[in-house]
Chains A and B, each alone.
Chain A
Amino acid sequence: MVLVEAIILSVLAASTPLLLAATGELVTERAGVLNLGVEGMMIVGAACGFAGAWMSGSIVVGALCGIVAGMLMSLIFAFMTLGLAVNQVATGLALTILGIGLSGLIGARFVGERITTAPKLSVPGLSDIPLVGRILFGEDAFVYLSLALIIAVWWFLYRTRAGLVLRACGDNHVSAHALGYPVLRIRLLAVLFGGGCAGLAGAYLPLAYTPFFIPGMTAGRGWIALALVVFASWRPGRLVIGAYLFGAVTILQLHAQGAGVGIPSQVMSALPYLATVIVLVLLSRARTGGSTAPAALGTVFVPDR
Chain B
Amino acid sequence: MMKRLLGAAAALVLAGSIAGAAHAADKLKVGFIYLGPIGDLGWTYQHELGRQALVKELGDKIETTYLENVPEGPDSERAIEQLVRAGNKLIFTTSFGYMDPTLKVAKKYPNVHFEHATGYKRDKNMSTYSGRWYQGRYIQGQIAAKMSKAGVLGYIGSFPIPEVVSGINATMLGAQSINPNIKVKIIWVNTWFDPGKEADAAKALLDQGADIIMQHTDSPAAMQVAAERGKLAFGQDSEMIKFGPKAQLTSILDTWGPYYIARVKAELDGTWKSEDTWGGLDSKMFEMAPYTNMPDDVKKLAEETQAAITSGKLHPFKCPIVAQDGKEVECKGGDHLADGQILGMNFYVKGVDDKLPGK
Contacts and interface: CB of A to CB of B under 8 A. Distances in A.
Interface in B141-175: 154, 157, 160
B199 A209 contact: yes
Interface in A157-183: none
Given A215-B37, A223-B2, A260-B353, A251 B195 contact: no
Interface in B266-285: none
A101 interface: yes
Given A260-B354, A264-B357, A209 B243 contact: no
B185 A258 contact: yes
Contacts of B160: 265
B83 to A, nearest CB: 20
Contact of B193 (A7, A117, A216, A259): A216
Given A7-B207, A96-B6, A205 B196 contact: yes
B234 to A, nearest CB: 17
Interface string A243-268: 00000001100110111101011100
B325 to A, nearest CB: 15
A276 B154 CA distance: 29
A211 interface: yes
Contacts of A205: 195-196
Contacts of A108: 39
A255 B195 contact: no
Interface string B190-217: 1101111111110111011010000000
Most buried by A among B157, B187, B205: B187
A258 B354 CA distance: 9
B6 A97 contact: yes
A220 B3 contact: yes
A148 B187 CA distance: 34
Nearest to A204: B196
Interface size class, chain A: 35 or more
A212 interface: yes
A56 B357 CA distance: 46
B208 A219 contact: no
Nearest to B225: A210
A257 B188 contact: yes
A271 to B, nearest CB: 11
Interface in A259-303: 259-260, 262, 264-266, 269
Contacts of A257: 186-188, 204
A45 B201 CA distance: 24
Interface in B1-60: 2-3, 6, 9-10, 13, 36-37, 39-41
A67 interface: no
A119 B6 CA distance: 36
A159 B219 CA distance: 45
A72 interface: no
A265 B6 contact: no
A216 B195 CA distance: 9
Q: With a 10 A CB-CB cut-off, give which of B40, B207, B210, B224 has the most chain A CB atoms.
A: B207
A80 interface: no
Given A101-B10, A214-B39, A214-B41, A260 B196 contact: no
Contacts of A221: 196
Contact of B187 (A114, A211, A258, A264): A258
21 contacts: A10-B204, A93-B6, A104-B37, A112-B39, A209-B195, A210-B195, A211-B224, A212-B221, A214-B39, A216-B69, A250-B200, A251-B200, A251-B204, A257-B186, A258-B154, A258-B185, A258-B210, A262-B355, A264-B357, A269-B189, A269-B190
Given A210-B221, A265-B157, 11 more contacts: A3-B207, A6-B207, A100-B10, A111-B41, A114-B242, A210-B224, A212-B221, A251-B200, A254-B197, A254-B201, A257-B187
